Structure 1
Amino acid sequence: MKIKNQQDFWSGVLYIVVGLGFSVGATNYSFGSAARPGPGYFPFGLGLLLAIIGAMVLVGSLASKHEGPIGKIAWKPLSIIVGSIILFAFTLPHLGMAIALPLLVLTSALAGDEFHLGEVLLNAAILTIGSWAVFIYGLNLVIPLWPTFIG
C-alpha cells in the first residue's frame, strides 16, 4: 500500500500518538460518572476523539489524490509559537490573565505570514474575555486575572 499524501499520513500518526498518550495519562485520575465527571473524564474522552480524528486523517492519506513529500520544517514560526507559550507560562502568575493572554496572542500572531494588528487585538480581547468567562467565572479556577502589583 502506497502512502500518497505523506503530510496527512504523518499528521494522522502524530494525532493518534498524542491522543492515545492523553487517554492513557488520564487513566491515572479518577473518572467519576457521567453525572459528576472526575478529573480524568474529559482528558480521556478528548484524547480518544483526537486519536479517532488522527485515524481518519491517516486513512484519508492513503486514498488522497494529492501526492507530495513533506516540506521543510518552518523553524522560525515554530520557534515563535513555542517561545510565545513559554512567555505565557512565565508571565501568567505575575501579570495575570488580562495581560499574559493578549501578550500570548500578539506574540504568536507574529509567526504568521499575514499580521493585522486590528485583527490580533480583537482576537486577543475575545479570547481573554472568553477565557475569563469559562475558567475564572464558570469553573471558579484560581487563576490571577490582574498583575500581582495591582492586587
Structure 2
Amino acid sequence: MNIKSQKDFFSGLMFMGVGVAFAWGAATYNVGTGARMGPGYFPMMLGVLLAILGVVITFKALVVETEDGDKIGTWAWKPLFFIIGANLVFGLMIGGLPSLKIPAMGLIAGIYALTFIASLAGEEFKLKEVVILATVLAIISYLAFIVLLKLQFPVWPTFITG
C-alpha cells in the first residue's frame, strides 16, 4: 500500500475517527427512526456521514497520484496555541471559576477576549479591525443567544450586574 497524498490520508483517518466517536456516543441515546427522530439521531447520522467521508478521502489518498505526495508540513504551534487558548479563556470568562474565586465576566467580555486572543494567531495584528470584528460578533451573539433564543447566562461581568 503506497500513500500518494499524506495530507489526504491523515485527514481521512481523522474524519473516520471523529465520525466513529460521534456515532458511538450517539448510540447511548435513543436514535429513533427517520420519521420519529430521537435525540441520538442527528449525531448518529453526522458520525456515519463523517466516517464515510473519511473512507472516501483515505481511499482517494491511496489511489490518486499527486505531484509531490502532498507531504505534511511542520506543526503550526503559534496558531494552535492561540486558538485553543482563546477558546479556553472564552469558556472561563462565560462561567467563571468559583473554586479559584474567578468571577464570570459574561458573554460580551468573553467575545472580546476570544477575538483578541485568536487574532494573535495570524501573521499580522490590526487593532482597528479586531475591535470592529469583536463588536460585530458581540452584537450578533447578544441578539442571537439572549434576545432570540432567550438563553440564560451572564451577559455582563458579575461585579457590574450584581
Of 80, 87, 90 in structure 2, the residue corresponding to residue 88 of structure 1 is 90
- Once residues 35 and 155 of structure 2 are traced to their aligned partners in structure 1, the CA distance between those partners, rounded to angstroms, is 30
AA of the residue aligned to 2:158: T
Partner of 2:113: 103
User: Does residue 115 of structure 1 match 2:125?
Assistant: yes
Aligned pair 1:76/2:86, yes or no?
no
Residue 5 of structure 2 corresponds to 5
Quote the residue 2:155 is aligned against: 145
- Pairwise mapping of residues 37-76 of structure 1 onto structure 2 (< 5 A)? 38-62=38-62, 63-66=64-67, 67-76=69-78
**1:52-72 Cα shifts (integer Å, max 9, x gaps):** 433343233231524143222
SS across alignment from 1:135: helix
Letter in 2 for 1:65: T
Aligned residues: 151
Question: Which of 118, 134, 138 is the matching residue for 1:124?
Answer: 134
Inter-partner Cα distance in structure 1 for 2:40 and 2:82? 31
Output one character per residue of 1:112-151: Cα deviation in whole Å (capped at 9) or x when no partner: 2233333333433343334334433444333322222222
Q: TM-score, normalised by structure 2?
A: 0.73
CA-CA distance at 1:32 after TM superposition = 6.2
Which 10-residue stretch deviates more, 101-110 or 45-54?
Answer: 45-54
1:31-54 superposed Cα distances (whole Å, 9 cap, x missing partner): 467688654344333333433433
Q: Over aligned residue pairs, what C-alpha RMSD do you find?
A: 2.8
Any unmatched runs of 5+ in structure 2? 96-103
**Do the aligned partners of residues 57 and 102 (structure 1) sit closer, same or farther apart at CA in structure 2, a change above 3 Å counting?**
farther
**Cα pair distance change 1:139/1:110, threshold 3 Å:** same
**TM (normalized to structure 1)?**
0.77
Mapped partners of 2:34, 2:144: distance in 1: 20
Rg larger in structure: 2
Q: Secondary structure at the match of 1:149?
A: helix
Aligned-partner residue type, residue 76 of structure 1: K
- Shift in alpha-carbon separation, 1:23–1:135, aligned structure 2, 3 A: farther
